[in-house]
Amino acid sequence: MSKRLYFNEVVTRDGFQIESNFIPTENKVALIDALSTCGFAKIEVTSFTSPKAIPMLRDAEIVMGQITRHPDVVYTVLVPNLRGAERALDVNADELNLVMSTSETHNRANLRMARDDSFAALREVIGFVDGRRPITVSLSTCFGCPMEGDVPAATVADWAWRFADLGVQGLTICDTTGMAHPAQVQRLTELLAQRVSTVPLTLHFHNTRGMGLANVLAAAQSGIERFDGSLGGLGGCPYAPGASGNICSEDTINMLSLMGFETGIDIVKLLTVARTLPHIVGHDVPGQLIKAGLVTDCHPAPVQG
């Protein structure tokens, strides 16, 4: 039996948050509705952050109110603090994805707090939600920080364990600026499997140094079943210097399904949606498959002279 993998599409959150031109609300809603029919287990719709910090996602409530929810998709949202959690509950988000960084410097840049203060604030959020919704936590810079450099695996495991101990339903291990390499991915996922064995792990890679797909493969071969990806390979944290796009969903899903993994995704449908993306954002996107097509798309032989 082929191994089942689960994908969370983050293009309208991580993908759009770094774009410079505001994407109209109706285009976000139409894109999410199209993605909802492709077979994703989860879609990270938006974030309930300060509109001054992330102006692109200032329409979070309207987007959540206007999308058509597919019964098989979990609609999750990024939440940085208590105010964000209240907003997410008000619009009936299926899941709240809290966020903090494993690097002190990046946490201060992104969330304007020390890590210990973030942990205390998020523990309060978990208490406030009180089981009304599942909670996951995204841990940023787990494979390195663009300002501090190395982030020790033991530090990542400690933060993961502290949230696991609070009873969260999932942990997302993020390579915020594409610093991971496959051997490191294997080592960290093995360590986390020992330290937080009761909590499902999702891996979140960026392709900043061209190792995104290699890192996904290393994680999948180490037993990871859940991945974040962004349509067209858009994305990046505005508060991490040098950040660039996430791994491209359609390129990743294409690779894994060719290798025999069961992804649940209709790749033809997904590719059709991906091809609308350059029109939505107004520029070319990094994904390869939208340019090259599927391996089954055969070209006519050149006419012999």
Q: Could you give the string, one character per residue 111-130, with x where binding to ligand COA holds by CB under 6 A and - elsewhere? A: xx------------------
Q: Does the protein bind ligand COA through residue 50 (CB under 6 A)? A: yes
Rank residues 36 and 97 by Cβ distance to Zn ion and give the closer one: 97
Which position among 39, 84, 170, 212 is part of the footprint of ligand COA (CB under 6 A)?
Answer: 84
Residue in 9, 14, 59, 251 binding Zn ion, rule: CB under 5 A: 14
Distance CA(220)–CA(207), nearest Å, equals 16
> Which residues within the stretch 9-48 sit at the binding site for ligand COA (CB under 6 A)?
17, 47-48
Q: Does 239 bind ligand COA (CB under 6 A)?
A: yes
Catalytic, 237? Answer yes
**Spatial separation of the C-alpha atoms in residues 70 and 74, rounded to whole Å:** 8
User: Are 39 and 263 contacting, i.e. CB atoms less than 8 angstroms apart?
Assistant: yes
Instruction: List Cα–Cα distances, 270 to 170, 208, 254, 275, 283, in angstroms.
Output: 26, 23, 10, 9, 19
* Cβ nearer to Zn ion, comparing 10 with 113: 10
Of residues 38, 142, 174, 237, which has the active-site annotation?
Answer: 237
Site for Zn ion in 165-184 (CB under 5 A): none
Q: Rule CB under 6 A: choose which of 5, 11, 54, 243 binds ligand COA.
A: 54
Nearest approach in angstroms of CB 37 to ligand COA is: 27
Kindly state the smallest distance separating residue 15's Cβ from ligand COA, in Å.
11
Cβ 245 to ligand COA, closest distance in Å?
14
- What stretches of the chain adopt beta strand conformation (E)? 6-9, 42-47, 74-79, 95-101, 135-140, 170-175, 201-205, 226-229
Picked from ligand COA, Zn ion, none, the partner binding residue 60 (CB below 5 to 8 A depending on kind) is none
Could you give the dihedral angle defined by the CA atoms of residues 57, 115, 87 and 95, in that order, rounded to the nearest 10 degrees? Answer: 90
N- to C-terminal Cα distance for the chain? Answer: 48
**φ, ψ of residue 88 in degrees (nearest 5):** -65, -40
d(CA 92, CA 61): 10
In the complex with ligand COA, the residue whose CB is nearer, 52 or 299, is: 52
SS3 content of the chain, % helix, strand, coil (to 5): 40, 15, 40
Which residue shows structure tokens 């291990």?
Answer: 173
Residues that bind ligand COA in the complex, under the rule CB under 6 A? 17, 47-50, 52-54, 80-81, 83-84, 87, 99, 110-112, 140, 237, 239
User: Annotated active-site positions, please?
Assistant: 237
